Chains A and B, each alone.
Chain A
Amino acid sequence: MRFIPHTEDEVQAMLEAIGASSVDDLFRCIPEKLHLERELDLPLGAGEQTVLSELSALAKRNTDASGHDWFLGAGTYPHFSPAVIDTVASRSEFLTAYTPYQPEMSQGTLQTIFEWQTMTAGLTGMEVSNASMYDGASATAEAALMALRITRRNKVVVAAGLHPHYRDVLATYLSGLGCELVEGERAGDGRSAPVDGLIDGDTACVIVQQPNFFGCLEDVVGWAETAHAAGALLVASVAEALSLALLTPPGEQGADVVCGEAQSFGLPMGFGGPHLGFLAARQSHVRQMPGRLAGETVDGEGRRGFVLTLSTREQHIRRERATSNICTNQGLCLLMATVYLALHGRHGLRALAEANLAKAEYAKARVRETPGLSLPFSAPTFNEFVVGLPGPAAEALGRALDAGAVGGLDLSAYAPDLGDALLVCTTERASRQAIDRLVAALAGGAR
């Protein structure tokens, strides 16, 4: 077996040193009746050539974005990823290291985390960011748990525009603690309707997604005022992190916690994971934050260095009184996003966000002028929007696929009241011609 170096002679020599007669002998500490007396019911191992060919065959049975125009987003976005990102993420020293428990031999990872924390704080308009969460959904759930701890209240109110999967994960996390979860309604323009009637003195936080699941921009300032008036926190959840390069950050609009998903920063769609949850907050709440934090310090000679810090919040120290059960998690994804942000930089990221906005505006204009298609919502959008269709969404998606495009998300399962509708996303990868082809296919005029 190519991953195992032991020769037969070495095994014998090692057994002798141990004082064991055989490898079986080493398993004597397992009671006899627990020994598996048969081989595992799995195939025999295989060489690289066979494994590669088997997995390539499986990969070919998926419809992928390398050969299709792509308009499906809804929380997982088809952005372009520069080659440098995978090059850096493939460095053995990053790829095959673990949690930086020993800072003297982990400065590479620690400094990267510190840089990520800095850029995330800047993007969200917050004071501090942690070193990542599993994904946008669990980051949102952890933000709610954080609000429950800070306010010592028991109820969470969510705006209608929160991604339905985020809401589901939130419900799962809250169910363990017996907390109440209530949800508002959608307004006619695609935004979330106000939830004033749902908020009371036991409300720990209000959660609003920006842009919301339907792509519409919410009035975060108004939501913050509503939450704060009741003594609750405002949690702003961001599923499309690129929007933070263009829109006024929730942190400057009164949000107390800004969390979400940073897959857009150079991570592959990868059937939904691994992605990169983030969570940023005010300095005053830092001791209630979940997850790892890297901090600056000095070594014995006074030179700057970085360490994991404030770990008395965490499970390995505080056990059942920890702020979360989370350990380190999306480390390599954090590295990739940090490289992505470093490459794009201050002006590149903004230009990219503006290009996304321009593509969506172009697509919306084409939809607006195409008979049979409509834009049911009037609220402004970033790079994703809802399209009303002349017939069932599944059929429209079939026509789009025939024209070489994965055309968007069929909303029939998510918002049946909208009738035949699609959620369509246009990133920088959507060319003008591809948008034209999609619009024609959705209208039924393709082929």
Chain B
Amino acid sequence: MSSAPGSVESLGHATRGLAWEEPLLFERGRPGRKGVDLDPLDVPEVDPKQLLGEAAVREEIPELPELSEVDVIRHFTRLSTWNYAVDLGLYPLGSCTMKYNPRLNEKVARLPGFAEIHPLQPPEQSQGILELMVRLEEALAEISGLDRVSLQPAAGAQGELAGIMMIRAYHEQRGDPRKKVLIPDSAHGTNPASAALNDFECVPIPSGADGVLHPESVAEVMGPDVAGLMLTNPNTLGLFEEHIVRICEIVHEQGGLVYGDGANLNALMGRSRPGDMGIDVMHFNLHKTFSTPHGGGGPGAGPVGVKNILAPYLPIPVARRDGDRFALDYEFPHSIGRLHGSFGNVGMLVRAWAYVRSLGRDGLRQCSDMAVLNANYLLARLRERWHVPYDRPVMHECVLSDKLLEDCKVTTLDVAKRLIDYGYHPPTIYFPLVVHGALMIEPTESESLEGLDRFAEALLSIEREAREDPDVVRSAPHRTPRSRLDETRAARKPILRWQPS
């Protein structure tokens, strides 16, 4: 690329590098090539068609390639270089908590005693993993101020589903089935989607002009037909819901329960506990707060914690102590049932426990402290030149908008694409929905001061470019192996697979 559009070189920013055009797996390889050498068969060969019948046995699968081991490792190594990642730099996706993923956690998860064990082995063969699970349950309960935790949900969205199912089961068990769930307008899309999977009607609640939820707005819609309220604290604007105690009281007074979305727990560890605020049930995102790697989109883990009133409804089984032994407990009379074929994403639980042990009570609090410091520092660096829709002290993330760029006809999407040229993953964009053209920035505690300064300079530089040379922003990214991809075309005529010719 020539230096004219988008000359952004400075130490720490992206620069030119080699990238390879890589075909699909199916466009590589040659007939007869193979990438594994299977051991010779030590039992008599069988003829599948004779054994199972002609009709039961399939023909060749043209969608499987023929490649050597070298072909395969080059293919995926080359593809990997087309990805951005936390290990390359700041990844400030708001509400995703893209913090550093310690490598020790990867190492311990691969120990045969964790990786090569089976969920249906009897508990006496699984004492080590069950102890780890119990210790993690106890730690999460302590961090959140809740009484019991189930580690079973495989992701935040499944933890949320578990939580809202428990709320439904609780009301039904009391002979008081309820129809509605209250959800603030700043909530994640999973909240209403999880409520809908329980046939609840979702009632939106507007946030106040100051960006937080007000008791009056909750009181107005709270009634005896409302099962509960779903709330994220800090909310998706990065603001602490300062009226949360009163709001929980209002919900509780009418027999409702409060669900806490734990997406933003990284702001609170050791400082304040959801259980103490009045939250009855919440999920944890171990891939956010507890550093298990995001893996290009999972696997995550979404344990769910509850106050004692909801404990009888927990998904089964739950790991528990039994004297100095550890067991799986199925004795939950009103359990909502099973959510996972086994016990959840246990490999992620191992990593999360290694993280909790590495940080301890001192380190966990330091994480939240530095995450909050980093977000406020970025806000301080950016607020002069960028529109801050709710300009007040934030917690672990802050939200900007493209309002001041309207005159230059530069949008949030353009800014996001231009950030790529500087070597950053863009923030979460166009969310929360309550802010037009939102840029939601969560730096996490992993980022150093000089890293934050570089990122702030990139955003300030883009703001200047938007005024002086808006085309370079509008046509970004310029440095990636692909320019902006046509998403409309992809959706209009979906091509979801390669076709053998």
Contacts and interface: CB of A to CB of B under 8 A. Distances in A.
B113 A177 contact: no
Interface stretch (A95-103, A186-194, A195-203, A384-392): A95-103
B76 to A, nearest CB: 4
Contact of A331 (B106, B277, B295, B343): B295
Contacts of B484: 104, 299-300
Interface in A39-92: 39-48, 50-52, 54-67, 70, 72, 74-76, 78, 82, 84, 86-88, 90-92
Contacts of B81: 93, 108
A51 B114 contact: no
Interface stretch (B254-262, B352-360, B459-467): B352-360
Contact of B485 (A30, A131, A307): A307
B58 A271 contact: no
A176 B197 contact: yes
Interface in A252-294: 252, 261, 268-275, 286, 292-294
A445 interface: no
B460 to A, nearest CB: 14
Q: Name, among A20, A72, A128, A275, the residue most crowded by chain B CB atoms within 10 Å (CB to CB).
A: A275
Contact of A104 (B80, B293, B482): B482
B253 interface: no
B389 interface: no
B26 A118 contact: yes
Q: Name, among A35, A135, A432, the residue most crowded by chain B CB atoms within 10 Å (CB to CB).
A: A135
B263 to A, nearest CB: 11
- B: interface residue count bin: 35 or more
Contacts of A325: 157, 160-161, 190, 193-194, 196-197
Contact of A121 (B63, B343, B487, B494): B63
Contact of A271 (B26, B53, B118): B118
Interface string B278-315: 00000000000001011111111100000000000001
Nearest to B111: A59
A55 B87 contact: no
A437 B359 CA distance: 46
Nearest to A302: B486
A262 B165 CA distance: 28
A3 B444 CA distance: 11
B212 to A, nearest CB: 9
A166 B341 contact: yes
Contacts of A96: 85-87, 91, 98, 101, 293-294
A328 B298 contact: yes
Q: Name, among A125, A297, A301, A338, the residue most crowded by chain B CB atoms within 10 Å (CB to CB).
A: A297
A61 B130 CA distance: 10
Interface in B448-477: 448-449, 451, 475, 477
Given A78-B118, A123-B61, A358-B43, A40 B364 contact: yes
A98 B339 CA distance: 24
A391 B340 CA distance: 32
A84 B157 contact: no
Contacts of B338: 137, 165, 168-169, 172
Q: Name, among B45, B81, B490, the residue most crowded by chain A CB atoms within 10 Å (CB to CB).
A: B490
A199 to B, nearest CB: 24
Nearest to A106: B83
B121 A72 contact: yes
A151 interface: no
A125 B60 CA distance: 11
B361 A107 contact: no
B276 interface: yes
A231 interface: no
B198 A177 contact: yes
A346 B60 contact: yes
A227 interface: no
Interface in B389-448: 392-393, 395, 416-417, 420, 425-426, 428, 431, 445-448
A88 B353 contact: no
A19 interface: yes
A163 B496 CA distance: 30
Nearest to A273: B345
B174 interface: no
A227 to B, nearest CB: 19
Interface in B67-93: 67, 69, 72-73, 75-77, 79-88, 91, 93
Contacts of A119: 63-64
Given A102-B426, A332-B293, A315 B271 contact: no
Contacts of A298: 485-486, 489
Contact of B497 (A97, A117, A249, A341): A117
A192 B238 CA distance: 53
24 contacts: A4-B366, A6-B373, A10-B449, A13-B449, A26-B369, A39-B365, A40-B270, A43-B360, A48-B104, A55-B114, A59-B129, A88-B80, A92-B86, A94-B85, A95-B106, A99-B297, A145-B197, A176-B197, A221-B55, A268-B347, A274-B301, A322-B196, A325-B196, A348-B38
Given A128-B496, A296-B490, 17 more contacts: A29-B393, A42-B139, A55-B111, A87-B73, A172-B339, A246-B57, A272-B341, A295-B491, A297-B485, A310-B494, A320-B196, A322-B196, A329-B155, A330-B299, A343-B72, A346-B60, A359-B43
